[in-house]
Amino acid sequence: MYCSKFNSSSSRREFLSRMAYGLGTAALGSIFAKNGYAADSLKYMATSEPKAKRVIFLFQSGGPSHLDLFDPKPEMASRFGQDIPESIFGGQRVTGMVSDQDRFLVVPSKYKFNRAGECGIELSEMLPWTQTIADEICLIRSVHSEAINHDPAITFMQTGSQLPGRPSMGSWVDYGLGSENENLPAFVVMNSVPSEAVAGQGLLSRLWSSGFLPGKHQGVQFRGGKEPVLFLANPSGIDDGRRRDYLDHLGSLNRKSFEKFGDPEIETRIAQYEMAYRMQTSVPDLADLSDEPESMYELYGDEARKPGTFAANCLMARRLAERGVRFIQLYQRGWDHHGGLHNRLPVLARDTDRPSAALVKDLKARGLLDDTLVIWGGEFGRTPYGQGDVKPTEYGRDHHGRTFSMWMAGAGIKKGHVHGASDEFGFNIVENGVHVHDLQATILHQLGIDHERLTYRFQGRQYRLTDVHGHVVKDILA
């Protein structure tokens, strides 16, 4: 017997044997999925008890300035316009945006920092609401990445590789653990843009792709509005009964095709049709916010009333978390502040500060923060030197991956804790660096997954989210 699809030959006996194992695995996977685990999840479970059941990643696309938000550098205050010392700069790579600059001049932050909470974490005045959850978060001031441009840096953070084609983190989590709710996707994505000014860097759907994993693990994008997913309603003249009959017949034809060709994408299509059918009843209830009390809008802010805003997406993220969605990814665009930071940073801070803090408070009040891991951060930070013509109160900053800041909360993460430190210019790490792969390993660890054992064989080798790198950052675990 010859299967041209995969350019390999096998005997009828071998083919049937493989089919039997494949169908058995699929059946076992279905059983495990209904109980919150994928078929292979037991072998991926770490030795420690999982702390997180789900992840909400509040991804700030464009590179938020750690120096203006999270990492105060008072030593820079008196050095405006001075050259970054060569001992600090060290001949590091620069992007094409500043490659023609003759000098790299220090630009201190124009924003004040305040000690927040009982823990006393210093946070920017641009983040008054985040200051109210200071005692819940772990602020990491030493994240670092080799990537210095947006596309490879975002791809690296989401997939563990700077090159396109790898599965996203949400897809890996779905593959490893399966879904807690068979009526909703395990991996949901929502996007938002600044309320003012430009949207900034675009986002490609491959960032939530399943890559070489089976297509059923890819992220499902929810739109803003009353219809997060298009075409869920039956067309005129089609009721649920007729829709069910139609899908049963279509499923029968697809299964016959799978038996003939063995193409796993056919199984993916069957699964997607079934998920879409179940979402016809689950998504309208999810998107109906009429049951949310006025107190929720007082918490998240009035922007939460406007579908598609970051605030509305944060509120939706909590509703998804309540319903057992494993991985919820929110993208907020617009953080690429090469110039005009003094005008644009306040807009982004205002758009994201209150709803991010509200989400943490809301989850805690409902008892969900204990097993929900919340992450806030972007693909890199910004440089301590200015870009273009700068003034003490009007400046821009270039990309900077050598050190930047992110925060995490919930699911066994230390509260009111600062991890890592950068030098007096916020340029290099001087203490407890956390590589992107370390961050990914730690996220998987909190979900009960050993990042070295969650693998998938593709093109002759075993792949994993963290490639051949990554260590769990145990110092940030409670």
Q: What is the CATH number of the domain that holds 315?
A: 3.40.720.10
pLDDT value at position 29? 46
Q: How far, in Å, CA of 34 to CA of 254, rounded?
A: 23
Helix, strand, coil shares of the chain, percent, nearest 5, are 40, 20, 45
In 124-239, alpha helices (H): 128-131, 150-159, 169-177
Q: Which two tokens stand for residue 62?
A: 């464009």
pLDDT tens-digit profile of 295-340? 999 999 999 999 999 999 999 999 999 999 999 999 999 999 999 9
Higher per-residue pLDDT: 315 or 227: 315
Query: Is 7 a residue whose pLDDT tops 80?
Result: no
Instruction: State whether 295 and 342 are in the same domain.
Output: no
The span from the first CA to the last CA of the chain, in angstroms, equals 56
Instruction: State whether 147 and 292 are in the same domain.
Output: no
Instruction: State whether 154 and 268 are in the same domain.
Output: no
Q: What does pLDDT average to over the chain? A: 88
Contacts of 291 (CB under 8 A, 6+ apart): none
User: Lowest-confidence range among 34-38, 58-62, 384-388, 408-412?
Assistant: 34-38
Answer yes or no: are the C-beta atoms of 444 and 173 closer than 8 Å: yes
In a domain, 454, yes or no: yes
In a domain, 183, yes or no: yes
Higher per-residue pLDDT: 121 or 253: 121
- Which residue's entry shows tokens 């500060």? 353
Helical (H) or strand (E) element with 16 = helix 12-34
Query: Is 359 a residue whose pLDDT tops 90?
Result: yes
Q: Which two tokens stand for residue 286?
A: 């999810």
Phi and psi angles of residue 310, each rounded to the nearest 5 degrees, phi first: -60, -40
Instruction: State whether 276 and 416 are in the same domain.
Output: no
261: region left, alpha or beta (phi > 0 left; psi from -120 to 50 alpha): alpha
Instruction: State whether 349 and 392 are in the same domain.
Output: yes
The percentage of residues in the chain with a pLDDT greater than 70, rounded to a whole number, is 90
Instruction: State whether 311 and 165 are in the same domain.
Output: yes
Three-class SS of residue 207?
helix
Query: Is 465 a residue whose pLDDT tops 80?
Result: yes
Q: How far, in Å, CA of 182 to CA of 461, rounded?
A: 31
Query: Is 46 a residue whose pLDDT tops 70?
Result: no
- Which residue's entry shows tokens 């990042």? 451
Instruction: State whether 143 and 240 are in the same domain.
Output: no
Q: Give the other-Cβ count within 10 Å of 244's Cβ.
A: 11
Task: Average the pLDDT over 346-365 and give the result.
Answer: 98
Task: Average the pLDDT over 229-243 and give the result.
Answer: 78
Q: How far, in Å, CA of 361 to CA of 301, rounded?
A: 13
Query: Is 402 a residue whose pLDDT tops 50?
Result: yes
Instruction: State whether 82 and 188 are in the same domain.
Output: yes
The percentage of residues in the chain with a pLDDT greater than 90, rounded to a whole number, is 69
Q: Which two tokens stand for residue 289?
A: 């916010």
Instruction: State whether 197 and 58 are in the same domain.
Output: yes
- Which residue's entry shows tokens 């918490």? 299
* Local confidence band at 125 (pLDDT 50, 70, 90 cut-offs): very high
Query: Is 40 a residue whose pLDDT tops 70?
Result: no
Among 274, 302, 330, the domain boundary falls at: 302
Answer yes or no: are the C-beta atoms of 149 and 399 closer than 8 Å: yes
Helix orientation angle between 310-322 and 264-287, rounded to the nearest 10 degrees: 110
* Local confidence band at 160 (pLDDT 50, 70, 90 cut-offs): very high
Among 252, 286, 302, the domain boundary falls at: 302
In a domain, 471, yes or no: yes
* Local confidence band at 51 (pLDDT 50, 70, 90 cut-offs): very high
Task: Average the pLDDT over 349-369 and give the result.
Answer: 98
Q: Are strands 404-409 and 372-377 parallel, antiparallel or unpaired?
A: antiparallel
Q: How far, in Å, CA of 284 to CA of 243, rounded?
A: 17
- Which residue's entry shows tokens 């066994």? 412
pLDDT value at position 2? 36
User: Lowest-confidence range among 47-51, 133-137, 185-189, 429-433?
Assistant: 47-51
Query: Is 24 a residue whose pLDDT tops 60?
Result: no
pLDDT value at position 15? 46
**Closest listed residue to residue 56, CA positions, set 378, 451, 409:** 409
Count of all residues that appear for the chain in the document: 478
Instruction: State whether 385 and 262 are in the same domain.
Output: no
Task: Average the pLDDT over 282-306 and give the result.
Answer: 93
Could you give the C-alpha distances from 191 to 154, 205, 289, 328, 365, in angstroms and in order? 14, 11, 19, 11, 26
Task: Average the pLDDT over 280-300 and give the result.
Answer: 91
Q: Which two tokens stand for residue 251?
A: 């499923």
Among 249, 281, 302, the domain boundary falls at: 302
Three-class SS of residue 246?
helix
pLDDT value at position 34? 45
Q: How far, in Å, CA of 218 to CA of 156, rounded?
A: 17
- Domain range enclosing 54: 19-224+307-476
pTM across the whole model: 0.87
Query: Is 370 a residue whose pLDDT tops 60?
Result: yes
Structural domain tally of the chain? 2
pLDDT value at position 262? 80
User: Lowest-confidence range among 247-251, 341-345, 442-446?
Assistant: 247-251
In a domain, 57, yes or no: yes
Helical (H) or strand (E) element with 346 = helix 341-365
pLDDT value at position 135? 98
Q: How far, in Å, CA of 365 to CA of 400, rounded?
A: 36
Instruction: State whether 193 and 265 are in the same domain.
Output: no
- Which residue's entry shows tokens 């003759």? 102
Q: How far, in Å, CA of 359 to CA of 408, rounded?
A: 12
Query: Is 8 a residue whose pLDDT tops 50?
Result: no
Query: Is 209 a residue whose pLDDT tops 50?
Result: yes
Task: Average the pLDDT over 103-127 and give the result.
Answer: 97
Q: How far, in Å, CA of 139 to CA of 117, rounded?
A: 13
